[in-house]
Amino acid sequence: MTGVQATSSQTVTALAPAKLNLSLHILGKRADGYHDLLTLFQSVDLCDQICFSFSHAQQNHLDLRIEGSSAYPDFPLDNSNIINKAAALFWHSQANLAPKKITATISKNIPIGAGLAGGSANGAATLVALNQHFGHPLAKDDLLELAAQLGSDVPFSLTGGTCLGKGRGEQLEKIPIEPGVTFVLVKPIGLSVSTAWAYDAFDRSARHNGREIQGLLNHYGDLKSQLLDKNVGGVAQLLVNDFESVVFEHQPVLKKIQANLLKLGCLSAHMTGSGPTMYGLAANAQHAKQILSQMEPVKNHATGFAIDGVLVNAWLANSINHGIKVVEDDEKP
Protein backbone atom coordinates (compact mmCIF):
# COMPACT_ATOMS: atom_id res chain seq x y z
CA MET A 1 0.00 0.00 0.00
CA THR A 2 1.28 3.46 -0.87
CA GLY A 3 0.66 6.81 0.72
CA VAL A 4 1.05 8.49 4.06
CA GLN A 5 -0.32 6.47 6.98
CA ALA A 6 -2.52 8.24 9.46
CA THR A 7 -0.75 8.60 12.77
CA SER A 8 -3.76 9.30 14.94
CA SER A 9 -6.78 7.38 16.19
CA GLN A 10 -8.92 4.67 14.59
CA THR A 11 -12.18 6.18 15.79
CA VAL A 12 -13.24 9.79 16.10
CA THR A 13 -16.60 10.80 17.56
CA ALA A 14 -17.89 14.28 16.81
CA LEU A 15 -20.77 16.30 18.21
CA ALA A 16 -22.56 18.32 15.52
CA PRO A 17 -24.74 21.11 16.99
CA ALA A 18 -27.84 22.62 15.39
CA LYS A 19 -27.94 26.34 14.59
CA LEU A 20 -30.55 29.04 14.87
CA ASN A 21 -30.69 32.18 12.75
CA LEU A 22 -31.78 34.55 15.50
CA SER A 23 -32.10 37.26 12.87
CA LEU A 24 -31.88 37.12 9.07
CA HIS A 25 -32.07 39.80 6.38
CA ILE A 26 -31.86 39.04 2.67
CA LEU A 27 -30.01 41.81 0.83
CA GLY A 28 -30.50 40.62 -2.72
CA LYS A 29 -29.79 38.00 -5.38
CA ARG A 30 -26.26 37.75 -6.75
CA ALA A 31 -25.03 36.93 -10.24
CA ASP A 32 -24.12 33.39 -9.07
CA GLY A 33 -27.73 32.70 -7.98
CA TYR A 34 -27.02 32.87 -4.24
CA HIS A 35 -28.31 35.67 -2.02
CA ASP A 36 -26.30 38.07 0.10
CA LEU A 37 -27.41 37.99 3.71
CA LEU A 38 -26.95 39.59 7.05
CA THR A 39 -27.69 37.11 9.80
CA LEU A 40 -27.07 36.39 13.46
CA PHE A 41 -26.18 32.71 13.92
CA GLN A 42 -26.36 30.89 17.25
CA SER A 43 -25.32 27.28 18.04
CA VAL A 44 -27.52 25.33 20.44
CA ASP A 45 -27.06 22.13 22.43
CA LEU A 46 -29.35 20.06 20.19
CA CYS A 47 -26.70 17.83 18.60
CA ASP A 48 -26.25 14.91 16.24
CA GLN A 49 -23.40 12.59 17.22
CA ILE A 50 -21.34 10.84 14.56
CA CYS A 51 -18.82 8.08 15.25
CA PHE A 52 -16.28 7.63 12.44
CA SER A 53 -14.26 4.42 12.51
CA PHE A 54 -11.35 4.01 10.12
CA SER A 55 -9.78 0.83 8.75
CA HIS A 56 -7.22 0.07 6.04
CA ALA A 57 -8.67 -0.57 2.57
CA GLN A 58 -7.71 -0.83 -1.11
CA GLN A 59 -9.62 2.34 -1.92
CA ASN A 60 -11.41 5.15 -0.14
CA HIS A 61 -14.98 4.36 0.83
CA LEU A 62 -17.44 5.70 3.38
CA ASP A 63 -20.21 3.48 4.64
CA LEU A 64 -22.95 5.47 6.36
CA ARG A 65 -25.28 4.02 8.99
CA ILE A 66 -27.93 5.58 11.18
CA GLU A 67 -29.07 4.43 14.60
CA GLY A 68 -32.81 3.75 14.74
CA SER A 69 -32.96 3.92 10.92
CA SER A 70 -36.70 3.19 10.73
CA ALA A 71 -37.40 6.56 12.41
CA TYR A 72 -35.59 8.43 9.57
CA PRO A 73 -36.95 7.21 6.21
CA ASP A 74 -35.95 10.55 4.61
CA PHE A 75 -32.29 10.35 5.64
CA PRO A 76 -30.27 9.17 2.59
CA LEU A 77 -27.49 6.68 3.28
CA ASP A 78 -25.91 6.88 -0.20
CA ASN A 79 -23.50 9.31 -1.87
CA SER A 80 -26.14 12.04 -1.91
CA ASN A 81 -25.71 12.47 1.85
CA ILE A 82 -23.61 15.49 2.80
CA ILE A 83 -21.47 13.20 5.01
CA ASN A 84 -20.37 11.23 1.91
CA LYS A 85 -19.92 14.48 -0.05
CA ALA A 86 -17.76 15.97 2.71
CA ALA A 87 -15.55 12.86 2.84
CA ALA A 88 -15.17 12.92 -0.96
CA LEU A 89 -14.23 16.62 -0.86
CA PHE A 90 -11.68 16.00 1.89
CA TRP A 91 -10.12 13.05 0.04
CA HIS A 92 -10.04 15.06 -3.20
CA SER A 93 -8.11 17.84 -1.41
CA GLN A 94 -5.46 15.39 -0.15
CA ALA A 95 -3.37 13.48 -2.69
CA ASN A 96 -1.14 11.39 -0.43
CA LEU A 97 -3.33 9.74 2.15
CA ALA A 98 -3.42 5.97 2.61
CA PRO A 99 -6.82 4.67 1.39
CA LYS A 100 -9.35 3.99 4.13
CA LYS A 101 -12.73 2.50 4.69
CA ILE A 102 -14.73 4.74 7.02
CA THR A 103 -17.84 3.56 8.81
CA ALA A 104 -19.80 6.60 9.96
CA THR A 105 -22.59 5.86 12.43
CA ILE A 106 -24.90 8.77 13.13
CA SER A 107 -27.16 9.21 16.08
CA LYS A 108 -29.65 11.75 14.73
CA ASN A 109 -31.34 14.26 17.01
CA ILE A 110 -31.62 17.34 14.78
CA PRO A 111 -34.84 17.15 12.72
CA ILE A 112 -34.37 16.95 8.94
CA GLY A 113 -35.51 19.87 6.71
CA ALA A 114 -36.22 22.00 9.75
CA GLY A 115 -34.07 25.12 9.25
CA LEU A 116 -31.71 23.92 11.99
CA ALA A 117 -28.79 23.11 9.64
CA GLY A 118 -28.59 19.48 10.70
CA GLY A 119 -27.14 18.51 7.29
CA SER A 120 -24.60 21.32 7.41
CA ALA A 121 -23.55 20.24 10.90
CA ASN A 122 -23.09 16.66 9.67
CA GLY A 123 -20.94 17.84 6.75
CA ALA A 124 -18.81 20.04 9.02
CA ALA A 125 -18.39 17.18 11.53
CA THR A 126 -17.12 14.92 8.73
CA LEU A 127 -14.47 17.44 7.65
CA VAL A 128 -13.30 17.91 11.25
CA ALA A 129 -13.23 14.15 12.01
CA LEU A 130 -11.27 13.22 8.87
CA ASN A 131 -8.84 16.07 9.43
CA GLN A 132 -8.34 14.88 13.01
CA HIS A 133 -7.82 11.25 11.98
CA PHE A 134 -5.27 12.08 9.30
CA GLY A 135 -3.22 14.26 11.66
CA HIS A 136 -4.57 17.72 10.74
CA PRO A 137 -3.27 18.13 7.18
CA LEU A 138 -5.68 21.06 6.75
CA ALA A 139 -5.42 24.31 8.70
CA LYS A 140 -8.64 25.91 10.01
CA ASP A 141 -8.88 28.30 7.02
CA ASP A 142 -8.53 25.43 4.52
CA LEU A 143 -11.26 23.51 6.36
CA LEU A 144 -13.51 26.59 6.22
CA GLU A 145 -12.91 26.85 2.48
CA LEU A 146 -13.97 23.22 1.95
CA ALA A 147 -16.92 23.84 4.27
CA ALA A 148 -18.10 26.76 2.08
CA GLN A 149 -17.96 24.47 -0.97
CA LEU A 150 -20.30 22.03 0.81
CA GLY A 151 -22.97 24.60 1.68
CA SER A 152 -23.59 28.16 2.84
CA ASP A 153 -24.22 27.20 6.50
CA VAL A 154 -21.37 24.68 6.80
CA PRO A 155 -18.65 27.24 7.77
CA PHE A 156 -20.85 28.42 10.64
CA SER A 157 -21.60 24.83 11.72
CA LEU A 158 -17.86 24.27 11.93
CA THR A 159 -17.13 27.51 13.80
CA GLY A 160 -20.19 27.68 16.07
CA GLY A 161 -21.01 29.94 18.99
CA THR A 162 -22.58 33.32 18.22
CA CYS A 163 -21.58 34.85 14.87
CA LEU A 164 -22.63 37.60 12.52
CA GLY A 165 -22.84 36.09 9.03
CA LYS A 166 -22.39 38.00 5.78
CA GLY A 167 -22.00 37.12 2.10
CA ARG A 168 -24.07 33.97 1.50
CA GLY A 169 -23.58 33.18 5.21
CA GLU A 170 -19.97 31.98 4.96
CA GLN A 171 -18.27 35.24 6.06
CA LEU A 172 -18.28 35.02 9.85
CA GLU A 173 -17.53 37.38 12.69
CA LYS A 174 -17.54 35.62 16.05
CA ILE A 175 -19.13 37.57 18.92
CA PRO A 176 -17.39 36.62 22.16
CA ILE A 177 -20.31 36.09 24.53
CA GLU A 178 -20.92 33.45 27.17
CA PRO A 179 -23.56 30.78 26.55
CA GLY A 180 -26.58 30.64 28.85
CA VAL A 181 -29.60 31.71 26.81
CA THR A 182 -32.49 29.23 26.61
CA PHE A 183 -34.83 28.89 23.64
CA VAL A 184 -38.13 27.07 23.21
CA LEU A 185 -38.08 25.36 19.80
CA VAL A 186 -41.31 24.41 18.05
CA LYS A 187 -41.64 22.47 14.79
CA PRO A 188 -44.94 21.35 13.31
CA ILE A 189 -44.80 17.56 12.88
CA GLY A 190 -44.48 16.49 9.24
CA LEU A 191 -43.78 19.99 7.87
CA SER A 192 -40.60 20.97 6.03
CA VAL A 193 -39.71 23.95 3.81
CA SER A 194 -37.32 23.91 0.84
CA THR A 195 -34.67 26.62 1.26
CA ALA A 196 -34.36 27.12 -2.51
CA TRP A 197 -38.16 27.57 -2.76
CA ALA A 198 -38.14 30.12 0.08
CA TYR A 199 -35.42 32.23 -1.59
CA ASP A 200 -37.31 32.05 -4.86
CA ALA A 201 -40.57 33.10 -3.22
CA PHE A 202 -38.78 36.00 -1.52
CA ASP A 203 -37.36 37.15 -4.89
CA ARG A 204 -40.81 36.98 -6.48
CA SER A 205 -42.22 39.10 -3.66
CA ALA A 206 -39.61 41.78 -4.59
CA ARG A 207 -39.38 42.76 -0.92
CA HIS A 208 -35.62 43.40 -1.08
CA ASN A 209 -35.84 45.94 -3.91
CA GLY A 210 -34.25 49.24 -2.91
CA ARG A 211 -33.00 48.00 0.46
CA GLU A 212 -30.82 50.41 2.38
CA ILE A 213 -27.76 48.29 3.17
CA GLN A 214 -26.08 50.79 5.50
CA GLY A 215 -29.21 50.91 7.67
CA LEU A 216 -29.13 47.11 7.98
CA LEU A 217 -25.41 47.11 8.80
CA ASN A 218 -26.18 49.63 11.57
CA HIS A 219 -29.00 47.37 12.78
CA TYR A 220 -26.58 44.44 13.16
CA GLY A 221 -24.09 46.77 14.86
CA ASP A 222 -26.80 47.61 17.43
CA LEU A 223 -27.62 43.92 17.82
CA LYS A 224 -23.95 43.16 18.50
CA SER A 225 -23.79 45.93 21.15
CA GLN A 226 -26.89 44.59 22.92
CA LEU A 227 -25.40 41.08 22.88
CA LEU A 228 -22.11 42.27 24.35
CA ASP A 229 -24.08 44.23 27.00
CA LYS A 230 -25.96 40.97 27.84
CA ASN A 231 -29.22 42.87 27.37
CA VAL A 232 -31.58 40.01 26.39
CA GLY A 233 -34.58 42.37 26.26
CA GLY A 234 -32.69 44.75 23.95
CA VAL A 235 -31.62 41.85 21.71
CA ALA A 236 -35.23 40.59 21.54
CA GLN A 237 -36.40 43.94 20.11
CA LEU A 238 -33.98 43.72 17.17
CA LEU A 239 -34.67 40.20 15.86
CA VAL A 240 -36.23 39.82 12.40
CA ASN A 241 -36.49 37.05 9.80
CA ASP A 242 -37.18 38.19 6.22
CA PHE A 243 -38.37 34.72 5.20
CA GLU A 244 -41.37 34.95 7.52
CA SER A 245 -43.24 37.29 5.17
CA VAL A 246 -43.30 34.71 2.37
CA VAL A 247 -43.23 31.41 4.30
CA PHE A 248 -46.09 32.42 6.65
CA GLU A 249 -48.30 33.12 3.62
CA HIS A 250 -47.96 29.46 2.61
CA GLN A 251 -47.85 28.01 6.11
CA PRO A 252 -50.14 30.18 8.26
CA VAL A 253 -49.73 27.66 11.06
CA LEU A 254 -46.28 29.15 11.67
CA LYS A 255 -47.75 32.59 12.29
CA LYS A 256 -50.09 30.98 14.83
CA ILE A 257 -47.12 29.34 16.55
CA GLN A 258 -45.31 32.68 16.67
CA ALA A 259 -48.36 34.34 18.25
CA ASN A 260 -48.64 31.46 20.70
CA LEU A 261 -45.00 31.66 21.79
CA LEU A 262 -45.39 35.40 22.40
CA LYS A 263 -48.65 34.86 24.30
CA LEU A 264 -46.90 32.30 26.51
CA GLY A 265 -44.31 34.93 27.46
CA CYS A 266 -41.36 34.58 25.05
CA LEU A 267 -39.43 37.84 24.70
CA SER A 268 -39.28 37.29 20.95
CA ALA A 269 -40.37 34.49 18.60
CA HIS A 270 -39.16 33.90 15.04
CA MET A 271 -38.56 31.30 12.39
CA THR A 272 -35.00 30.00 12.04
CA GLY A 273 -33.59 30.12 8.48
CA SER A 274 -36.28 29.30 5.93
CA GLY A 275 -38.15 27.34 8.60
CA PRO A 276 -40.27 25.66 9.57
CA THR A 277 -38.79 25.51 13.10
CA MET A 278 -39.76 28.49 15.24
CA TYR A 279 -37.77 29.59 18.25
CA GLY A 280 -38.96 31.53 21.27
CA LEU A 281 -36.41 33.51 23.27
CA ALA A 282 -36.87 33.07 27.02
CA ALA A 283 -35.60 35.40 29.76
CA ASN A 284 -33.74 32.48 31.41
CA ALA A 285 -33.82 28.67 31.78
CA GLN A 286 -36.58 28.73 34.41
CA HIS A 287 -38.72 30.98 32.22
CA ALA A 288 -38.22 28.63 29.25
CA LYS A 289 -39.36 25.61 31.33
CA GLN A 290 -42.40 27.55 32.46
CA ILE A 291 -43.30 28.42 28.84
CA LEU A 292 -42.99 24.77 27.76
CA SER A 293 -45.05 23.61 30.75
CA GLN A 294 -47.96 25.76 29.55
CA MET A 295 -48.18 23.85 26.24
CA GLU A 296 -50.71 21.05 25.91
CA PRO A 297 -48.80 17.73 25.88
CA VAL A 298 -49.75 14.88 23.51
CA LYS A 299 -50.10 11.51 25.29
CA ASN A 300 -47.28 8.97 24.81
CA HIS A 301 -45.13 11.41 22.85
CA ALA A 302 -42.12 12.78 24.73
CA THR A 303 -41.80 16.02 22.73
CA GLY A 304 -45.32 16.19 21.23
CA PHE A 305 -47.66 19.09 22.00
CA ALA A 306 -50.80 20.58 20.48
CA ILE A 307 -50.89 24.30 19.64
CA ASP A 308 -54.32 25.50 18.43
CA GLY A 309 -55.03 21.93 17.33
CA VAL A 310 -51.72 21.59 15.41
CA LEU A 311 -49.36 18.79 16.42
CA VAL A 312 -45.84 20.03 17.03
CA ASN A 313 -42.58 18.88 18.49
CA ALA A 314 -41.37 21.30 21.12
CA TRP A 315 -38.24 21.20 23.19
CA LEU A 316 -35.78 23.44 25.03
CA ALA A 317 -32.31 24.25 23.69
CA ASN A 318 -29.50 26.26 25.25
CA SER A 319 -27.00 28.48 23.49
CA ILE A 320 -23.47 27.04 23.36
CA ASN A 321 -20.20 28.66 22.34
CA HIS A 322 -18.73 25.97 20.12
CA GLY A 323 -19.28 24.34 16.75
CA ILE A 324 -18.09 20.84 15.89
CA LYS A 325 -16.52 19.19 18.89
CA VAL A 326 -14.53 15.94 18.95
CA VAL A 327 -15.69 14.17 22.10
CA GLU A 328 -13.97 10.82 21.99
CA ASP A 329 -10.73 9.86 20.37
CA ASP A 330 -9.30 6.37 21.01
CA GLU A 331 -5.52 6.63 20.90
CA LYS A 332 -4.82 3.27 19.27
CA PRO A 333 -1.40 2.67 17.72
Which residues participate in catalysis according to the annotation? 19, 153
- Would you say 317 and 182 are in contact if contact means Cβ atoms under 8 Å apart? yes
Residue 39 binds ligand C5P, judged by CB under 6 A: no
CB of 119 to ligand C5P, least distance (A): 8
Strand ranges inside the chain, DSSP E:
11-29, 35-56, 61-66, 100-107, 162-166, 171-174, 182-188, 268-271, 278-281, 296-297, 304-307, 310-318, 325-329
CB of 78: closest distance to ligand C5P in angstroms? 18
- Peptide bond between residue 155 and the one before it cis (omega within 30 degrees of 0): no
Site for ligand C5P contains 23 (CB under 6 A)? no
Question: Do residues 236 and 281 touch, judged by C-beta distance below 8 A?
Answer: yes
Task: Tell which one of 21, 126, 152, 272 touches ligand C5P (CB under 6 A).
Answer: 152
CB 316 within 8 A of CB 264: no
- Is 169 or 280 the residue whose CB approaches ligand C5P more closely? 169
9 sits in which H/E element: none
Q: Which of 3, 38, 1 is nearest to 241 (CA)?
A: 38
**C-beta closer to ligand C5P: residue 148 or 320:** 148
Distance CA 119, CA 11 (A): 21
Judged by CB under 6 A, which stretch of 145-153, 206-214, 241-249, 313-321 contacts ligand C5P?
A: 145-153
Please work out the total of residues on this chain that contact ligand C5P, with binding judged by CB under 6 A.
11
Long-range contacts of 294-299 (CB under 8 A, 24+ apart): 294/264, 295/264
What part of residues 60-89 is at the interface with ligand C5P (CB under 6 A)?
none
Please tell me the number of Cα atoms within 13 Å of 136 on its side-chain side: 3
> Contacting ligand C5P (CB under 6 A), which of 115, 118, 151, 155?
151
| Closest CB to ligand C5P among residues 29, 101 | 29
25 sits near ligand C5P (criterion: CB under 6 A): no
Nearer to ligand C5P, 151 or 280 (CB): 151
CB 89 within 8 A of CB 79: no
Between 26 and 223, name the residue whose CB sits nearer to ligand C5P: 26
Applying CB under 6 A, among 37, 271, 295, 324 the residue interacting with ligand C5P is 37
Query: How far apart, in whole angstroms, are the C-alpha atoms of residue 42 and residue 183?
Result: 11
Cα 35-37-43 angle, rounded to 5 deg: 120
Residue ranges in 182-241 that form contacts with ligand C5P under rule CB under 6 A:
195-196, 199
Under the binding rule (CB under 6 A), the answer on residue 94 touching ligand C5P is: no
Taking the complex as a whole, the smallest distance from the CB of residue 89 to ligand C5P amounts, in Å, to 13
- The piece of 97-105, 148-156, 215-223, 239-247 that touches ligand C5P (CB under 6 A) is 148-156
Residues that bind ligand C5P (CB under 6 A): 34-35, 37, 151-153, 168-169, 195-196, 199
